[in-house]
Amino acid sequence: MGNLTATRPPQPWTAPTASDPVAATLRLPGSKSMTARALVLSALANGPSTLDGPLRARDTELMAGGLRAMGAHVSISDDERWLVRPHRLVGPAHVDVGLAGTVMRFVPPVAGLAEGRVTFDGDPQARVRPLGPLIGALRSLGVRIDAPATRSLPLVVLGAGRVTGGEVVIDASASSQLVSGLLLAAPRFDRGVVVRHQGPPVPSAPHLRMTVQMLRAAGAAVDDTTPDVWAVEPGPLSGRGWKIEPDLSGAVPFFAAALVTGGEVTLQGWPRSSMQPVEQLRSLLHRMGGEVTLTTAGLTVRGTGTVHGLDADLSDVSELTPALTALAMLADSPSRLTGVGHIRGHETDRIAALAREFAALGADITESADGLEIRPRPLRGGTFRTYADHRMAHAAAVAGLAVPGIEVDDVACTSKTMPEFPALWSAMVTGKS
């Protein structure tokens, strides 16, 4: 007989409802964005590197596995410190991207530097995520790629051990990762790279700033003084120690809980100077009724129990859209969230999914091409589908603080970026660690 448990659907997870203001001090896993970039830069460096406080989750383990498949030595046995020793990159190799945008967009440029054939594929939903601009850009820089007519996964990079590099024009309006992927590998290209973006604005600008900052920290020369143009000179990357910040995007649902319940949540280990968009988050939460402070204890958010509606362009911080949508459902006035049309191409079409699932709970919510309009009214319990998207589960958890009976169909999808999420969330709400 076959394995009958292999196809058993996940058990629904009932989002806990808060009976009291939450009061929690949390130490959350490291930033996914920083961990992914540090892994790539370390694999391309001229000496060993360490990552202190990295994120151990599906996305980052897939990134480590992809680099390891091409020959880099990546040790992730110690949860607190990962070790990367660069090595000559070779094929044949296979990279499983899962549903990770970072893996599918950061690793193909690295594969161009490998000698041999490197194949890429992932979860079914990964095959519809936008890759065409990256494929076109790599081909123009001298990388041989076999890809379907849809210019999506599965694809094959036929690495020649070097990439010519040079100037390239790309439409990165679907994802800033399309630019970051080219920039991270560019110091190893013969001529470096000059990337020119042409098209609607590039979303998630803070992530691009993080890429540039981390490249410079590894010794690369980067010029980003001209808007929508990034120039990286060829040259060695230095092995170094990377101290990974706590994940700000992962912290947002917990901060939202402070606003919903009139409580207080502190994220420990927050640096005085951050590569993540903490000022944008501080402004958004303040406008929704929260108080954000940074002390030696960490980053603290306090709420009053009253949430205000919000009219905001979230193009720079689109990862926050699901949690902020849930907050808006519980607000005292309507909200309009715009500038996030590109999240239709994330793990799922997040705009459509949020509108569909919250409407099923009784919400008055309307989707537009690039965002959502929310007019708060009482919600009811019911099943909330995640579509294998961790941020959808986070949104359901936030709403569940005030709405009894919200059942998340697959909370395990949070393992993509935070396997501990269900346990941490329940402990925060119940006050039991």
62-85 per-position pLDDT tens digit? 999 999 999 999 999 999 999 999
Determine, yes or no, domain membership for 20: yes
pLDDT of 2 > 90? The answer is no
Better pLDDT: 331 or 347: 331
Q: Which residues are CB-contacts of 275 (< 8 A; sequence separation ≥ 6)? A: 31, 34, 209, 210, 213, 214, 245
The tokens for 358 are 């919250």
Checking if the pLDDT of 226 tops 50, the result is: yes
Phi-psi category of residue 341: left, alpha or beta, with phi > 0 → left and psi -120 to 50 → alpha? alpha
356 and 276 within one domain = yes
Residue 236 forms part of a structural domain? no
Q: Cα(234)–Cα(223) distance, rounded to whole angstroms?
A: 12
Per-residue confidence (pLDDT) for residue 343, from 0 to 100? 86
| 319 has catalytic annotation | yes
Range of the domain at 172: 32-228
Q: Quote the CA–CA distance of 157 and 337 in Å, as a whole number.
A: 38
**What CATH number is associated with residue 257?**
3.65.10.10
User: Would you say residue 240 lies in a domain?
Assistant: no
Which pLDDT belongs to residue 298?
92
Q: Please check whether residues 271 and 325 belong to one and the same domain.
A: yes
15 φ, ψ (degrees, to nearest 5): -65, 125
Residues 190 and 252 in one domain: no
Query: Region 274-300: what's the mean pLDDT?
Result: 93
Residues 250 and 336 in one domain: yes
Please give the biggest Cα pair distance in the chain.
63
Quote the pLDDT of residue 9.
64
61 and 21 in a common domain? no
Q: What are the tokens at 237? A: 């990357």
Residue 393: inside a domain = yes
pLDDT mean across residues, the chain? 94
- Cα–Cα distance for residue pair 222/160, rounded to 1 Å: 25
The residue behind tokens 């970026």 is 417
Q: Is residue 239 part of a domain?
A: no
- To the nearest whole percent, how much of the chain has pLDDT over 90? 88
Domain's final residue, options 199, 228, 257: 228
106 and 205 both lie in a single domain: yes
pLDDT at 33 over 70: yes
Q: State yes or no: pLDDT of 43 exceeds 70.
A: yes
pLDDT higher than 80, residue 90: yes
Mean pLDDT value across residues 112-132: 93
22 and 42 housed in the same domain: no
Instruction: With a cut of 60, say whether residue 134 has pLDDT above it.
Output: yes
**Residue range 369-398, pLDDT digits in tens:** 999 999 999 999 999 999 999 999 999 999
Asked if residue 403 and residue 256 are part of one domain, the reply reads yes
State the catalytic residue, choosing from 264, 319, 347, 357.
Answer: 319
Ramachandran bin of 19, using left for φ above 0, alpha for ψ from -120 to 50, beta for the remaining angles: alpha
What is the model's pTM?
0.89
In a domain, 8, yes or no: no
Q: Domain for residue 233, yes or no?
A: no
Per the structure, the count of domains in the chain is: 2
Does one domain contain both 193 and 249? no
Whole-angstrom distance, CA of residue 37 vs CA of residue 4: 39
pLDDT score recorded for residue 342: 86
Q: What is the share, in percent, of the chain residues with pLDDT greater than 70?
A: 97
Asked whether residue 420 is assigned to any structural domain, the reply reads yes
Question: So what's the pLDDT on residue 422?
Answer: 96
Domain boundary among 228, 263, 288: 228
At residue 273, the pLDDT reads: 87
Q: What is the mean pLDDT of residues 107-111?
A: 98
- Which residues carry a binding-site annotation for 3-phosphoshikimate? 32-33, 37, 175-177, 204, 319, 346
Q: Are residues 58 and 71 in the same domain?
A: yes
Among candidate residues 182, 197, 228, the one where a domain is terminated = 228
* Residue list for the binding site for phosphoenolpyruvate: 32, 101, 129, 177, 350, 391, 416
Mean pLDDT across 343-354: 90
Q: Are residues 221 and 269 in the same domain?
A: no
pLDDT of residue 77: 94
Residues 279 and 173 in one domain: no
